[in-house]
Structure formats: structure tokens, C-alpha cells
A = this chain, B = another copy of it.
Amino acid sequence: MTELSDRIRLLRTQGVTAPAGFRATGIPAGIKASGALDLALVFNEGPDHAAAGAFTRNKVKAAPVLWSQQVLTTGRLRAVILNSGGANACTGPLGFQDTHATAEAVAAALSDWGTETGAIEVAVCSTGLIGDRLPMDKVLAGVGEIVREMAGGLTGGEEAARAIMTTDTVPKQVALHHQDRWTVGGMAKGAGMLAPSLATMLCVITTDAVADSAALERALRRAASTTFDRLDVDGSCSTNDTVLLLSSGASEIAPSQHDLDAAVLAVCDDLCAQLQADAEGVTKRITVTVTGAASEDDAVTAARVIARDSLVKTALFGSDANWGRVLAAVGMAPVPLDADRITVSFNGFPVCVDSVGAQGAREVDLSGDDIAVTVDLGVGSASASIRTTDLSHAYVEENSAYSS
């Protein structure tokens, strides 16, 4: 539990079912050969059904992204169905039909259960290997089963969080309780192909606050821009990135936009830290902060160039205070900087001042799990941070044998 302020607290033992009005669970539908959990449902009982979404900026978008973007134009959702074990990306028109059929099946099952639902109220998210069709017999049978289980009272946010894992080693969820008696809950997955414009991830955030889709949209857009958009494990942006925010209004409390923004930001930030800590092959959690930039956009750009540099990432894997690689990397960033006035520090220790090495720079202890790299460009007062990880043998190992 983290005390963020007197008014809110965060609990990682709860997730999307923490807010009133939400049910969720996860089951093994047989999509994954391993028999692990692979199908999740998040259901909004209402009374409200407002929703907002943010999606990958990749031009190559998976079928479920194309579907869910359409669905979200209505600003409302009753349910989100999510599967791991296959991304349903690069599967053509037939893959899109599979997504549509899945949403139809969820709507039909929920209607049978007594909640009249249209496919247009069901978002679909998929994650896993790109390029293969999903085993639709298993997906559709799973949809029937998961709605029955949920209707029967079985509900578990953690099972849902587990069912969307791919190379993740732990489920990621968090709940924020506001003292005004409203709650925001969230779950996320993502470990590799984790980069800007949302990182590679699926994330569902729920709240029982009373908020319309415009308010949710604003809170989500603001939060994503400084959290998921600034997580960059390997510079690779997925075809399936999706973040959804649903409100049930069940608390009957309508927080101010400011409070809603802050709560959604805190949940996104915490989920980001969890994604970073469980990234593929991670041995170091690295935060690259650029200060002294001409604008915040420049700071983000420069920090991202450093965070993506293979030589910086391998050096930090080796706990090697090779600050020259940081200078070589930032020197290629397409932003204004003073090449003779760059300052770099590792974990607060200045290793390079005015672009020249500082005394003792190579002896800085980087053996811990967390490394803070701070780079001052010397041209302004704006700053920003990117979360990343090191480039390790484990990353290479995991990613040289993923599809086989």
C-alpha cells in the first residue's frame, strides 16, 4: 500500500473489480497450448456505461484494435473481452471477422443472461504472436463459459489480470481508493515490444466515479501521455496496444475533473512501474531524465533516444558507468543542445560536466537494480523522463525463440 496523499491510497492486491459496478474474471479457454488462463472478461454493471480508449499509433493495427476503435466512437462500453495466446494481427479480413464474431458472442451471452447487449458495446483486445488466426472454436466456447461463470457469481480481477499475460511473469493490477468514496482500478500486461505510443500493452481501467466519456477521455489522454507513452523497453511499438477506461457511476460520486485526472494518472503510473519491473529480460530498471531542454517535447525526444540506445542499455546491463555512450546517443537526438555544455549524472553522481568526464566517473556504483540517468542539455528549463530497462542476455534469449 502506498500513501500518495491524505486523500487516496493505492493497493496492488486489487484491480479492475475494486470499483463498484464491475465484475471480471479469467479462464483457460484453450487458446494457449499450455492450458494457462487465456481469456478475460471485464463487465460493467452500470448504472453508467461511459468509456474512453487509447490505441497504438502503429499503422499496422490488429483486427481487435480496428474493432475497438470503432466501438469507442460511441463513448460507451458494457464489456471488454480480452485474450492472450494470439494477437490476431496481420490476419486480414478474416481476422477482423473473428473479432466481430467474438464481440457478437459476448453480446449474445450477456443478453441471454438478462443484460440486453449489442456487439457495439463490446471492446475486444488480443495479445500474443502476430500473424496467426485465433482458434475460434475455442474462443467462442470460452466466451460462453466465461459469461456463465461470471453470471454464476464467480468474479476475480486477479484471474482477469493473469489471463492477459504473455511473457509477463506476474499479473499487474492496482486499485486507488479515494477518501470521497470512489475508486479507480486497473490491470495491464506488457513485457516486450514495449515502446512509445502506449507501450505494447493491454490495459483496462475501471472506476465507479460518475464521469461522462469526455471526462474519461481527457483523464486517459493526459495520464497516458506521461506514463504509457514514456515507457520504452525496446523501441518496438506493437500492433495491439489498447488502454480502455470504463466508468460505472456506481459510487454516485462525481469527482472534479482535477481529482479524476489525478486518480487515473496515479493508476497508470503505478501500472507503468509494474510493466517496467517485469519487462522482458530486465535486470535494471532505468529512468532517463533529460533536463535543460528547450521544450518538454524535446526532453522526451532526447530521453527516448538515450533510452533506446543499444550501447547505453548494454553498458548499464554490465553496471558499466560508460557515460561516453550517453553523450554519443544524445548527440544524435534531433533537438537543440549545447554540445559543450552537456552534463550527465548516474544515480545523482555527476559523471560528465560540460561534456567532459568528471573525476571518479568510471567508478560510480551501478550494481543496484535501479539506475537514474540524468542528462542536462544546457539550453532551456524543460524536462521529462522515460522509463526503460537494460539490454540483457535474457532479453536476447527470450526474443530469439518467441514464435518457435
Chain A positions 278-332 with a Cβ under 8 Å from a chain B Cβ: 308-311, 314-315, 317-318, 320-325, 327-332
A58:B328 contact, CB within 8 angstroms: yes
Query: Cα distance A315–B236 when bound, in Å?
Result: 13
Whole-angstrom CA separation of A342 from B278 in the bound complex:
33
Residue of B58, B310, B331, B352 near A131 (CB, 8 A) is B352
Q: Are A325 and B90 in contact (CB under 8 A)?
A: no
Contact A393 B393 (CB under 8 A): yes
Interface of A (DSSP majority class): loop
Across the interface, which residues of B come within 8 angstroms of A356, CB to CB? 90-92, 95, 131
- C-alpha gap A199/B398 in the complex (Å): 28
Query: What mask results when residues 134 to 149 of chain A are scored 1 for a CB within 8 Å of chain B, else 0?
Result: 0000000000000000
Does any Cβ of B come within 8 Å of A151's Cβ? Answer: no
Chain A 388-404 interface 0/1 with B at a Cβ cutoff of 8 Å (1 = within): 00011101110111111
Number of interface residues of A (CB under 8 A): 66
Q: Select from chain B the residue with minimum beta-carbon distance to A356.
A: B92
Chain B minimum-CB-distance residue to A314: B399
> How far does the alpha carbon of A87 sit from the alpha carbon of B323 in the complex, in Å?
13
Name 11 extra pairs, CB < 8 A, besides A130-B324, A393-B397: A60-B328, A90-B357, A130-B327, A192-B311, A236-B332, A310-B391, A315-B403, A320-B401, A322-B403, A393-B396, A395-B396
